[in-house]
Amino acid sequence: MMTESTPSQRATVTLAGAGVFATLAALLTLSRFEIPFPLIPYLKIDFAEIPILIAFFLFGPVAAAMSSVIHWLFLNVRGSDAPLGPMLKFVAEISTIAGFWMGNQVFRHLRGAKPHPTFALSAMLAGGMLWRVAAMTVVNYVVLLYIAPIFFHADYLNFARMTLEQTTGWSLADNLAVLVYTLLFTGVYNIVNLLVAAVPAGLIVSPITTPFKHITSVDAWLTRNTRS
């Protein structure tokens, strides 16, 4: 019978997991396998978040956050549009991790005597969507109106107008309409990108939670947090 893991074992596994999945995220970034979001094509749906969320499910929020920080550092060196692009990606990843963790806290308070893994995953997914969309709406608002024009001398709002008018065929009357539609469609994009990462991550993690314990001597984080 396998004994319960110690804090030092969990810390070692967490550090190792963070490094491994940050490396995988970096490799996916280098592959440049991206899909332009149809409504705002300069936003790209990528798959680099899949390893970050696998790290979350297997090792927990600390490992996922560490992977995200390493990924952010990598993007500043090898990514595009640094430092603004990597910063936006980092906020998207960290807010998703925070939302998943908050969703899990809600699940832990509401689960009752018998835990339901589907309920747990649904709560985490809902939390991730809410936190990510809220965080990215605020950040993009600040970038469009203040950071881009003041610090980078770039008219991102006018670029967004041209992009939206080209993709939708609309004629947008003023900057307020451009801002509202840009933030609205960016929110939709963030939900889609989250699902593109979360669904494969969940499908990958689900069948390996049991062998994970035998390999690492530590229960998968998802297992520890969805059982009674």
pLDDT tens for 127-173 read 999 999 999 999 999 999 999 999 999 999 999 999 999 999 999 98
pLDDT of residue 198: 96
pLDDT of residue 2: 43
pLDDT of residue 1: 38
Distances (CA, A) of 94 to 69, 101, 149: 9, 11, 25
pLDDT of residue 140: 98
End-to-end CA distance of the chain: 19
Rounded to the nearest 5°, which phi and psi values hold at 34? -130, 155
What is the model's pTM?
0.92
Query: pLDDT tens, position by position, for the chain (228 residues)?
Result: 344 567 777 788 889 999 999 999 999 999 988 999 999 999 999 999 999 999 999 999 999 999 999 999 999 998 778 999 999 999 999 999 999 999 999 988 887 656 677 888 899 999 999 999 999 999 999 999 999 999 999 999 999 999 999 999 999 989 999 999 999 999 999 999 999 999 999 999 988 888 888 777 778 888 888 765
Domains of the chain: which residue ranges?
7-224
pLDDT of residue 215: 75
pLDDT of residue 183: 98
Burial degree of 14 (CB within 10 A; 0-12, 13-18, 19+): buried
Identify whether the C-beta of residue 56 lies closer than 8 Å to the C-beta of residue 198: no
| Coil, helix or strand at residue 36 | strand
Strand partners for 44: 36
pLDDT of residue 41: 96
Residues 6+ apart with CB under 8 A from 112: none
Q: Does domain 7-224 have CATH number 1.10.1760.20?
A: yes
Residue that is written with structure tokens 């920080």 in the block: 69
